[in-house]
Amino acid sequence: MASKVKVKVGKGDAVVYWMRMQDMRIHDNRALSQASEYARLHSLSLIVLFILSPQDYIAHDRSARRIDFTLRNLMQIKNSLAKLDIPLHVITHSPRKTLPERVTTTLSDWNASRLFANVEHEVDELRRDLRVYELAQRTGKAECTFVNGKCILPPGTVLTKDGRGYTVYSPFLRSWIPHLTDTPDPLACAPDVESNDATVRQHPIFGQLFNSAIPEYMEGYELSKEDAEIMCVCWPAGEAAAQEILLRFLHTKARPAQFGAADPLSPGASEPKSGPKDSRLGKYGDARDRVDADTTSRLSPYLAAGVISARECVRATRALSEGKHSKVDVSRDTGVGRWVQELAWRDFYTHVLALFPRVSMGRPFQEKFANVSWETNESHLQAWKDGRTGVPIVDAGMRQMNKMGWMHNRLRMVTAMYLVKDLMIDWRLGEKYFMETLIDGDLASNNGGWQWSASTGVDPVPYFRIFNPYLQSKKADPSGDYIRYFVPELAKVFGDEIHNPPPRCAEKLGYPTPLVKHDEARQRAIKRYKNPGDV
Ligand code: FAD
């Protein structure tokens, strides 16, 4: 989409920044920063608009947790903006089809001459923005500027020699890294947002917007009291919380995780500082695949909602790169290097979504696997969702996600592959359930992860390389502590048996026996992938 409309519009009274559920921050927010700069230069009032769109949430299988997180962050943002004399106006709009008209009418009501927003790369969202752009152009009243804010490097900037999007991660990464040291610096922080003139509070229309209410919950997306409490403890809202979690990852040691509501993830939890080599980040290269300690950053809910920018995360690692302050250390064998590479996966999948949008429309990227025969076993699907497959590591992962709205990356791969290759259930059903349950649900990363596991995506695991969940379990949770916590039926099982309890022992403990035999299921999957269409 072009970034500027070439229509002459009047000065108007206001500039609008349209915040969406993927850029919920004030700091280092490019569209907001540009809106603020424009308002300052032209002596206009800056207004922030947020539209809750229930039909979009249904269409994208948004989880109630993600919606709740959105509302909690909005509360924080409203307070922070109010300190800058900037009103945040929140509206709820249905049906989604008429949302562009609602936006342009709102611009008219406020006599706004400019609209700024960060691009959302999902197809429906791009169509919506295009319509807003066209409507604004047609009325000639407002110019629209859409800015790339989600990724470290915007889609379309990292291309193969013949100008195509990469479909394999390693060459993408090799091409992505040199961009980080470009001039102008793509990691540069967006300038701070400036206050409105305080008289905006006396303005007959804009002054009222300071009273705009943020709903406590959205109909159909209410959390139970217990779930709401767990979400608040594990995932506190706001930019300050995200910063604390980043600092905790950079400067403190990983320790055996305590899961669930008791997990002291909250930013207040004081932990002694550690040296750069011992910190979670320092150890990330070796320790990141362990699920029995909190070795990873757990920033994904904040990155998915844009409460912290991915650029900010990379910038924070720069200062730690042994004196090379201007460079980002992305070499493979350091913690910093590995972590930045994970952030590059996020860019990679967003670029794939933007450049090959069919992946988000229920299509496998590799069309040759479009006709793989899937089982339609409802009870197996339900057992997988409930964490009752009889494979402890799969069940522990699923129960952690059901409880916390988050799961470790290794277990997302293990549980996804188990559904697709062991139970032979369509990956799209798993993709949907993850989106409905995760607090960090992100269409690009979730689809990328699912299509990787199902061997149907860009750069996927080959279809015949099927994880053995029992071996994965021994590597990821050698002591079995993680399993024992999330699968309390097995709390008294120790040694190797925790990974694959003998049937008699499982039965006695009220734990299910495995739904399928892994070796047989593996053979079935290989056969079906080799000959799509065969049953
Ligand atoms: P860290 O290890 O600290 O990594 C830092 C950040 O890098 C993450 O927060 C995330 O933004 C990004 N990142 C790390 N690994 C990946 C990856 N493989 N793909 C894309 N980005 C990555 N991530 C989501 O944010 N939302 C999802 O809906 C999502 N669904 C997934 C589904 C499947 C089947 C799989 C295999 C992976 C999925 N991921 C998803 C990616 C990854 O599992 C999570 O980002 C990660 O577990 C988050 O934990 P963290 O913040 O501690 O990550």
Least Cα distance to 430 among 459, 462, 461, 407 occurs for 407
Distances (CA, A) of 234 to 368, 371, 405, 445: 41, 40, 9, 21
CATH of 14-150+200-208, one of 3.40.50.620, 3.40.1260.10, 3.30.870.10, 1.10.3720.10: 3.40.50.620
Least Cα distance to 244 among 260, 268, 263, 261 occurs for 268
287 touches 410 (CB < 8 A): no
Looking at residue 307, its amino acid is V
Query: Angle, nearest 10°, between helix axes 392-404 and 409-417?
Result: 120
Please state the separation of Cα 421 from the chain's center in Å. 25
Q: What pLDDT is attached to residue 1?
A: 46
Q: What proportions of the chain, in percent to the nearest 5, are helix, strand and coil?
A: 50, 10, 45
Residues 6+ apart with CB under 8 A from 184: none
CA pair distance 341, 170, nearest whole angstrom: 10
Q: Which residues are annotated as a binding site for FAD?
A: 284, 296-300, 339, 342-349, 440-442
Q: Is the CB of 280 under 6 A from ligand 1?
A: no
Q: What pLDDT is attached to residue 5?
A: 43
Domains of the chain by residue range = 14-150+200-208, 225-355, 367-530
Question: From the candidates 427, 446, 447, 500, which is the catalytic residue?
Answer: 427
Q: Is 114 helix (H, G, I), strand (E, B) or coil?
A: strand
Q: What pLDDT is attached to residue 398?
A: 98
Distances (CA, A) of 467 to 394, 418, 455, 463, 484: 12, 8, 12, 10, 21
Q: Is the CB of 349 under 6 A from ligand 1?
A: yes
CA pair distance 187, 154, nearest whole angstrom: 11
**Token pair for 105:** 């009418």
What is the pLDDT tens value at each position of the chain, 535 positions in all?
444 444 456 788 999 999 999 999 999 999 999 999 999 999 999 999 999 999 999 999 999 999 999 999 999 999 999 999 999 999 999 999 999 999 999 999 999 999 999 999 999 999 999 999 999 989 888 999 999 999 999 999 999 999 999 999 999 999 999 988 887 888 999 999 999 999 999 999 999 999 999 999 999 999 999 999 999 989 999 999 999 999 989 998 876 666 554 454 444 456 778 877 888 999 999 889 999 888 899 999 999 999 999 999 999 998 776 555 456 667 667 899 999 999 999 999 999 999 999 998 999 999 999 999 999 999 999 999 999 999 999 999 999 999 999 999 999 999 999 999 999 999 999 999 999 999 999 999 999 999 999 999 998 888 999 999 999 999 999 999 999 999 999 999 999 999 999 999 999 999 999 999 999 999 999 999 998 888 7
- CATH number of the domain at 367-530, please? 1.10.579.10
How, if at all, do strands 143-147 and 88-92 pair? Answer: unpaired
Question: From the candidates 409, 436, 468, 489, which is the catalytic residue?
Answer: 409
Looking at residue 365, its amino acid is F
Q: Is 409 a catalytic residue?
A: yes
| Ligand 1 geometric centre to CA of 445 (Å) | 7
Provide the whole-model pTM.
0.95
Query: How many Cβ atoms are within 10 Å of 112's Cβ, its own excluded?
Result: 25
The dihedral formed by the CA atoms of 391, 394, 397 and 403, expressed in degrees to the nearest 10: -70
Ligand 1 probe mutation, 409, 412, 425, 467, most atoms within 8 A of CB: 409
Query: What ipTM goes with this model?
Result: 0.99
CATH architecture of the domain formed by 225-355: Alpha Horseshoe (1.25)
Looking at the CA of residue 438, tell me the nearest atom of ligand 1.
28
What order do you get walking across the sheet with 143-147 strand by strand? Answer: 88-92, 45-52, 14-19, 112-118, 143-147
Q: What pLDDT is attached to residue 323?
A: 54
**Residue bearing tokens 């912290």:** 308
Distances (CA, A) of 403 to 64, 262, 441: 13, 12, 15
Q: Is the CB of 490 under 6 A from ligand 1?
A: no
Q: What pLDDT is attached to residue 118?
A: 98
Ligand 1 probe mutation, 445, 459, 467, most atoms within 8 A of CB: 445
Q: Each residue of 133-172: b (16+ CB within 10 Å) or e?
A: bebbbeeebbbbbbbbbbbbbbbebbeeeeeebbbebeeb
